Amino acid sequence: MVNTLDQIFVLLQHWIVGLLPAVLQPFAGVLLNVVAIIATFPALFAISVLLERKGLGRMQNRIGPNRVGPFGILQPVADGIKSLTKEDVVPFRADAIVHFMAPVVLVVIVFMGYAVLPMGRNMTLVHMDGALLFYFAMGACTELSVFMAGWASRNKYSLLGAMRAVAQMISYEVPLLLSSVTVVMITGSLSLDRIVEAQNQYTWGLPHWYIFTPWGLLAFLMFAIAATAETNRSPFDLPEGESELVAGYFTEYSGFKFAEFFLGEYVGMLSISGLGATLFLGGWSAPLEVLNFVPSWVWFFSKVMLSICVMIWLRGTLPRLRQDQLMNFAWKFVLPMTLLNLGVAALWRFMDGGWLRWVVCSAIVLGTYVLVGRSEMRRRHYGPRSYRYAE
Amino acid sequence: MTIVFWILAALTVAGGLAAVTLRNTVHCALAVTAAFAGLALLFLQLDAQFAGFAQILVYIGAVAILVVFAILLTRESETTEHAVFSRTWLAGLCIAAGVFAVLGWAVLRSANAIPQQATAPVVAVKDIGNALMSRYVLPLEIVALLLTAAMVGAVVVAMHEKGDTK
């Protein structure tokens, strides 16, 4: 019974594919998986948008949407109908083809990342040897669509927003990759399935998740920071800072194209949360051995939604960074910490198990954190700010 | 020579052609990106996963973005008025044809030099990593040195002169 529930989607897929003639079966199997992914994540997108609007409202002493349906839970439906029926305005001077292609490219690329995420036991679309590399290759392509959107709009706010977004995404991609490399070093594989299996072990009923090691905790924190910046979420939402740039690179988008950008952003958040959960939080494995009777996919999706809640919480709590703070933080704090973490992970790999490696690795991680943090604080100049204006 | 190969080849060649014939420089850069993507897909079609993903990560994720930034920051990205072909197009065509001939000759010759295998070898990413760290460690280190030198050079170029106000 437990096993059936765990594999229910896999069994369902096999049953549906079994109904079809043998010629179509391989094709239908893949198609069914893709349809499942394309249906599930926009549904989660709707839930997280509602969660964000309600939660953010409460954090800001507002009520939030409460008109559509009981407690406003049908708000995403109303939003969807609105964006579908709105007029699609393309600026007269805009580059029509590139302007049209940008949101399409973004949505397609963002969905590609899900192909390698293990969403439950035996629930990976493509079992790939270099799955992590594939994920990051797809992630790197989103920058191009952001640039296309900003450039094709022929609007200075759009272009400035796109330049900011691309600079920010390139800067934070380095720590994102470097913090994930530690997991690859310890597991010895780029395959996300293998990474989850390596964490799906228990000692005294407690899991072997990578977050519960000194290097893993540091890598997870750095990964979370970089992932927040990579998805242009607050406090790193300068590219769409509404007080300066209207809406950043998608200022000139309306109607369904705007909805596509919105979808791309949230699906990207869900996807990178899924990757974070897979790398550091044990993917679909249960947090305690006794909880193994709960289906694996429940764990994966609850970890993803938990990360989304933390992101909403951060958005409600932290003020937006300034551009120079953003860059200094990436290159002078996050990057040195991830580089050091590579060394710590290597040390962890080659020291024998036991309490000694815990002490040594934790001491290095904590010591550097305090040192780097302190020196950054001391170097910061608290004086009157100087402004430079364009002549 | 499957149908997939022909589609990918057409995409790559069309991207490359568009890159040299389009008038708007940013459009050219985007067309080059399409050609890069086609190449990456060709690698993937040949089961060379690592090369394909590295192609996407490096060329689309970094090189294309750099090209686009360079175009935007250095000159007008507006459509040029004069013809797209420069005056030295004949020389350029000859050099390109020469390089292509040499590469084609080398590739065709290599089929005889390497013993034929009955089945395609399965190369995992791990094998590539092991090879890079053992047999090919010297070239790897030379490339690393070169990149570091380039990076130091870039920092020196971008650095403020002494006494120069910020």
For the domain that residue B29 is a member of, what is the CATH number? 1.20.120.1200
Domain boundary among B77, B111, B140: B77
Predicted local confidence at residue B141, as pLDDT: 93
- Residue B99 has what pLDDT? 95
Q: Check whether residue B72 and residue B129 sit in a common domain.
A: no
Residues 6 or more apart in contact with residue B111 via CB below 8 angstroms = none
Can you give the residue range of the structural domain that contains B166?
123-166
CB A275 within 8 A of CB A117: yes
What are the b/e assignments for A37-71, b being 16+ CB within 10 Å? Answer: beebbbebbbbbbbbbbbbbbeeeeeebbeeeeee
Do B50 and A173 count as a contact with CB atoms less than 8 A apart? no
A151 touching chain B per CB within 8 A: yes
B29 found inside a domain = yes
Q: Binning pLDDT at 50, 70 and 90, where does residue B149 land?
A: very high
User: Could you tell me which residues come within 8 angstroms of residue A267 by beta carbon, excluding any fewer than 6 positions away?
Assistant: A41, A42, A45, A107, A110, A111
- % of chain A beyond a pLDDT of 90: 6
Alpha-carbon gap, residue A36 to A13, rounded angstroms: 10
B20 in a structural domain: yes
Interface test with B, best of A136, A147, A180 (most B CBs within 10 A): A147
Of B49, B57, B65, the CB nearest to A144: B65
All residues of chain A having their beta carbon less than 8 Å from the beta carbon of residue B57 are 133, 136-137, 140
Cα A41 to Cα A37, A72, A274: the distances in Å are 6, 21, 11
* pLDDT score recorded for residue B144: 93
Among chain A residues, the shortest Cα distance to B124 is held by A129
pLDDT-based confidence at residue B120 (cuts at 50, 70, 90): low
Chain B contact probe: residue of A98, A109, A133, A381 with most B CBs at under 10 A: A133
Q: Measured between alpha carbons, how far apart are the two ends of chain B, in Å?
A: 59
Gap between the Cα atoms of A69 and A164, Å rounded:
39
Q: What pTM was estimated for this model as a whole?
A: 0.84
Residue % of chain B over a pLDDT of 70: 83
Q: CB distance from A372 to chain B under 8 Å?
A: no
Give whole-number Cα distances, A202 to A15, A68, A209, A278, B166, in Å: 33, 46, 9, 16, 56
Torsion of CA A5, A7, A8, A14, to 10 degrees: -150
Residues of chain A contacting B126 with CB distance shorter than 8 Å:
129, 188-189
Give, to the nearest 10 degrees, the angle between helix A214-230 and helix A255-280: 170
Residue A386: per-residue pLDDT: 62
Q: A68 in contact with B at a CB cutoff of 8 Å?
A: no
Q: Does residue A26 belong to the interface with chain B, where contact is any CB pair within 8 Å?
A: no
Nearest residue to B25 (alpha-carbon basis) of B109, B81, B92: B81
Cα gap A172→A335, rounded to integer Å? 9
Q: Which residues of B touch A163 (CB under 8 A)?
A: 69, 72
What's the pLDDT at A204? 81
Q: Is A144 on the interface with B (CB under 8 A)?
A: yes
Q: How far apart are CA A164 and CA A241, in angstroms?
A: 10
Distance from CA of A211 to the nearest CA of B (A): 24
> Residue A202, Cβ neighbours under 10 Å: how many?
14
Question: Are residues B69 and B2 part of one domain?
Answer: yes
Q: Do A151 and B26 touch (CB under 8 A)?
A: yes
Answer yes or no: is B59 within a domain. Answer: yes
CB contact under 8 A, A133 and B50: yes
- How crowded is the C-beta side of A271, counted as CA atoms within 13 Å? 28
Q: Chain A residues with CB inside 8 Å of B65's CB?
A: 143-144, 147, 166, 170
Half-sphere exposure of B53 (CA within 13 A, CB side): 19
Mean pLDDT for chain A overall: 83
pLDDT for A266-312, tens place per residue?
999 999 999 999 988 888 888 887 777 888 888 888 999 999 999 88
pLDDT band at B166 (very low <50, low <70, confident <90, very high): very low
Domain identity same for B73 and B11: yes
Peptide bond preceding A235: is omega within 30 degrees of 0, i.e. cis? yes
Query: CA of A188: which chain B residue's CA is closest?
Result: B126
Q: How many CB pairs under 8 A join A and B?
A: 63
What's residue A390's pLDDT? 60
Q: A166 touching B, CB under 8 A?
A: yes
Same domain, B68 and B127: no
**Does the residue B92 lie in any domain?**
no
Q: Which of B27, B57, B65 sits opposite A166 (nearest CB)?
A: B65
Neighbours of A220 (CB within 10 A): 22
Chain B nearest CA to A260, separation (Å): 21
How many other C-beta atoms can be found within 10 angstroms of the C-beta atom of residue A237? 20
Q: Which of A127-141, B36-50, B137-151 has the highest mean pLDDT?
A: B137-151
Count other Cβ atoms within 10 Å, centred on residue A33: 20
* A-chain residues near B72 (CB < 8 A): 151, 159, 163
* pLDDT, averaged across chain B: 82
Q: Are residues B4 and B69 located together in one domain of the fold?
A: yes
- Using CA atoms in the order A173, A179, A183, A184, what is the torsion angle rounded to 10 degrees? 50
pLDDT score recorded for residue A381 = 55
Total domains, chain B:
2
Q: Assess A173–B contact: CB distance below 8 Å, yes or no.
A: yes
Instruction: Look at residue A61 in the predicted model and tell me its pLDDT.
Output: 84
- Mutation for testing the A interface, residue in B65, B67, B77 having most A CBs under 10 Å: B65
Instruction: Using CA coordinates, name the residue in chain A closest to B68.
Output: A147
Q: Please count the other Cβ atoms lying within 10 Å of the Cβ belonging to residue A128.
A: 20
Sign for the pseudo-dihedral over CA of A194, A351, A277, B133 = negative
Burial of B75 (0-12, 13-18, 19+ CB in 10 A): exposed
B47 domain-assigned? yes
Is residue B89 a part of any domain in this protein? no
Residue A154: left (phi > 0), alpha (psi -120 to 50), or beta?
A: left
Where does the pLDDT of residue B81 fall: very low under 50, low under 70, confident under 90, or very high at 90 and above?
low
Q: How far is residue A45's CA from residue A282's CA, in Å, rounded to a whole number? A: 23
Is residue B99, in this structure, part of any structural domain at all?
Answer: no
CB A304 within 8 A of CB A339: no
Band (A3; pLDDT cuts 50, 70, 90): confident
Domain end among B77, B96, B131: B77
Cα separations (Å) of A282 from A170, A180, B29?
27, 14, 41
Q: Read out DSSP for B12-43? A: HHHHHHHHHH-SSHHHHHHHHHHHHHHHHHHH
- pLDDT at res. B48: 80
Mutation site, B43, B49, B53, interface A, largest A CB count within 10 A: B53
Helix (H, G, I), strand (E, B) or coil at A173: helix
* Residue at B103 is within a domain: no
Torsional sign, CA A261, A181, A303, A55 = negative
Bridge pairing between strands A206-207 and A202-203: antiparallel
| Residue A137 at interface with chain B, using a CB cutoff of 8 Å | yes
Residue A313: CB partners within 8 Å, gap ≥ 6? A55, A59
DSSP string of A100-113, one letter each residue: HHHHHHHHHHHHHG
Residue A387: count of CB within 10 angstroms of its CB: 5
Mean pLDDT of A153-182: 87
